[in-house]
Amino acid sequence: MQLIIFASSAVWNGVHFNLNSVIPWYVILIYGLIYVGVLAWIWRSGKFSSFKTIDFVYIALIVALLIVYNFFISPIIPKVGAITTWFYYPMIGEIFLLLTVAALVGKPGTMAITMFVYTLLSDIFHYGFGGEPFYFIYEILAYGAILDMWLAYRGELFLSPYIKSRPGSTSAGASLEERIKAQASKATTVGYVLMVLDALIGAIPMAVAYSLFYRGFFATFVSGFVYKPSLVYATTIASVGGGIVMGLISLPFVAYIKRVVKGAI
């Protein structure tokens, strides 16, 4: 059975504007608007401090490592088609790096900035700008949106075994280290459960991004490829399992890096 059909010709900048996709265009639009709305509301509420120079240093370092991994290391990792079709294990490096930047920065918008810079550099050095700006939208929505919205709740405690303290229990201007010390008694079972949840909420959307978002919409809209719904749904479901495995494997390593860098565990 033919699972992929090339169904249209490019209209502008390599974009086909083919709406015959598995995921309807309005679902992507609504999802994007919800994401932008959540970020706007969070930042207007003043619950998070603005990005600092060190945050951009972390983002720049992770983006550089992502470029190296995705374009130089991942291609030489042995791949078994019967396995990688359903469980793309080379993605573990990307998941590990993206969880790391989320843990080190811990602010909503971290993933949007990271994926924007990554996509920009990928276009400059490898892909070119055909299909833009829609690949920027794809990378941010597919790989970063869910985690950014989760960071609105967890913040700097992402991938730390702590829960939020009651209002007034620590001063508003306290540093992360001071807040962690004040919350030391709260590193309970709930905190460790949230820590695992952090890893899964971060890793699963990344693992299903290609199957669900690219095959389900952007491959059709941008490149004109129409995928059979059965392929999209089956590989997406299988990728959920892969995301769980890769998230849990990455968890202790990212937590260790955060402990070393920020003294947060």
Show me where the domains of the chain are located.
Answer: 4-17+25-158+174-262
- Cβ distance 109 to 118 under 8 Å? no
For residue 225, list its beta bridge partners: 6
The token duo for 50 is 């603005």
H-state helical runs in 46-188? 53-68, 81-84, 92-105, 110-122, 134-143, 145-154, 176-182
Q: What's the chain's average pLDDT?
A: 88
Higher-pLDDT residue of 7, 254 = 254
- Tokens 């619950």 — which residue? 47
Residue 263, Ramachandran bin (φ over 0: left; ψ between -120 and 50: alpha; else beta): left
Q: Write the pLDDT tens digit of every residue in 49-93.
A: 889 999 999 999 999 999 999 999 999 988 877 777 777 888 999
Burial 22-60 (b: 16+ CB within 10 A, else e): bbeeeebeebeeebeeebeebeeeeebeeeeeebeebbe
CA distance from start to end of the chain: 51
Mean pLDDT of 95-119: 97
**Torsion angle, CA of 165/257/253/105, rounded to 10 degrees?**
60
* pTM, to two decimals: 0.88
Q: What is the DSSP letter of 51?
A: P
Mean pLDDT of 2-30: 83
Whether the pLDDT of residue 265 is over 50: the answer is: no
Q: Write the pLDDT tens digit of every residue in 177-220.
A: 555 555 544 667 888 999 999 999 999 999 999 999 999 999 99
- Cβ distance 159 to 198 under 8 Å? yes
Higher-pLDDT residue of 264, 220 = 220
Question: What is the pLDDT, as a whole number, of residue 3?
Answer: 60
- Cβ distance 95 to 111 under 8 Å? no
- Tokens 């008694």 — which residue? 185
Instruction: Compute the radius of gyration of the chain from its Cα atoms.
Output: 19
Contacting residues for 42 by C-beta, under 8 A, at least 6 apart? 48, 108, 152
Whether the pLDDT of residue 10 is over 70: the answer is: no
Whether the pLDDT of residue 168 is over 60: the answer is: no
